[in-house]
Structure 1
Amino acid sequence: MTITKVAGAVCGALLIFLLGKWAAEGLYHAETHAEAAYVIEVADSAAEAEPVEEVNFDELLASADIESGAGVFRKCSACHKLDGSNGTGPHLDGAVNRDIASVEGFNYSSALNDLEGAWTPEEISGFIENPRGYAPGTTMGFAGLPKPQDRADVIAYIQSVSN
């Protein structure tokens, strides 16, 4: 008798579940309904986007605020040091105009080892704007600094404290 009651309860619960599923499909599946009552026209956002003004990075760097750069550098200081010792990332002492991937004793990712040249202020700006976009495959997990003025400020700060 107990087994029959349990089996009946399970079958009843399954029946309620299936009826609920059938009702929900009828209410929420769009392909069973007619055409939309009205369509809202949306302008193409790419066509209406205002052109982005090109910023001369040399002018931004010339007018950079070192104090503001010290504040922005706090984001960098979680991984980088300015005292010549490596942390999670290579030290940034003398990083401006230093060859890319040239800090002794630091194991760079292959994405940075494959780059050639020096870390000019423009190159540093491009890299810290979007590290993974600049060097795909880099192990640097930083999201980047989207504001050009912040990038100029932090580069000026690094230059001011470098030996």
Structure 2
Amino acid sequence: MLDTMTMTKVLGGFCGALLIFLLGKWGAETIYHVGGGHGDHTQAYVIDTGSDDAASGDAPEVDFDTLLASADVAKGEKVFGKCRACHKLEDGANATGPYLYGVVGRAVDTAAGYTYSGALEKVVDTWTPENLSHFLESPRGFAPGTAMSFNGLPKAEDRANLIAYLDSTDD
């Protein structure tokens, strides 16, 4: 059943389909190609989005003390949900990470009963709000070699709210 005429028909069918696809591609490029490379074309309708000199997405950097002064403890409690998997707020109750009761103002690596990696002692002495903010932004970037595997909190507002919440838990 497989003779020369059948093979010629099959090959002709594939060549015809290829020709249709190539012609379709050429037609689509002709219709939808912007500019077309033929002369200068202006856009028919331009949407004004403001000044071209405006900063693109760069928000002014707010001082961390200002953020901390306006921090929301309730929002900080919600942010603490990310920390709850490894840390506890009860005094002396260590988990995967050390307890965080009284961490604001506490000396680094002093949670009783917890074995630290030693990387934090090389960077800071005390957990001030500024040191906590830098650490929470990127733990491994702030203290290379730390055992904390958390990626960090990129938003300064979240860090300020969390620090205010942690500071409020130890009376």
**TM-score interval, smaller chain:** 0.5 to 0.7
Q: Does 1:135 align with 2:154?
A: no
Can you give the 5+ residue segments of structure 2 that lack an aligned partner in the other structure? 1-54
Question: Quick one: distance in 1 between partners of 2:116 and 2:125?
Answer: 15
TM superposition shift of 1:110? 2.2
2:94 paired residue number? 86
The structure carrying a bigger helix percent of its residues is: 1
CA contact 1:70–1:154 (8 Å) conserved in 2: yes
- In the TM superposition, 1:62-101 aligns within 5 A as 62-84=69-91, 85-101=93-109
Question: Quick one: distance in 1 between partners of 2:126 and 2:59?
Answer: 28
1:104-138, Cα deviation, whole Å (9 max, x unpaired): 21111121233342100000000000000000111
Question: Quick one: distance in 2 between partners of 1:145 and 1:111?
Answer: 20
Match of 2:60 among 29, 53, 61: 53
1:129 partner amino acid: E
Question: Quick one: distance in 1 between partners of 2:69 and 2:139?
Answer: 23
Larger Rg: 2
What TM-score, normalized to structure 1?
0.67
Aligned length in residues? 116
Higher relative contact order (CA 8 A, sep 6+): 1
TM superposition shift of 1:54? 2.5
Q: Does 1:161 align with 2:166?
A: no
The secondary structure found in structure 1 opposite 2:148 is coil
The secondary structure found in structure 2 opposite 1:150 is helix
1:46-90, Cα deviation, whole Å (9 max, x unpaired): xx9765632211110110011100100000011111011111111
What is the root-mean-square deviation in Å for CA atoms of aligned residues?
A: 1.6
CA contact 1:99–1:117 (8 Å) conserved in 2: yes
2:63 partner amino acid: N
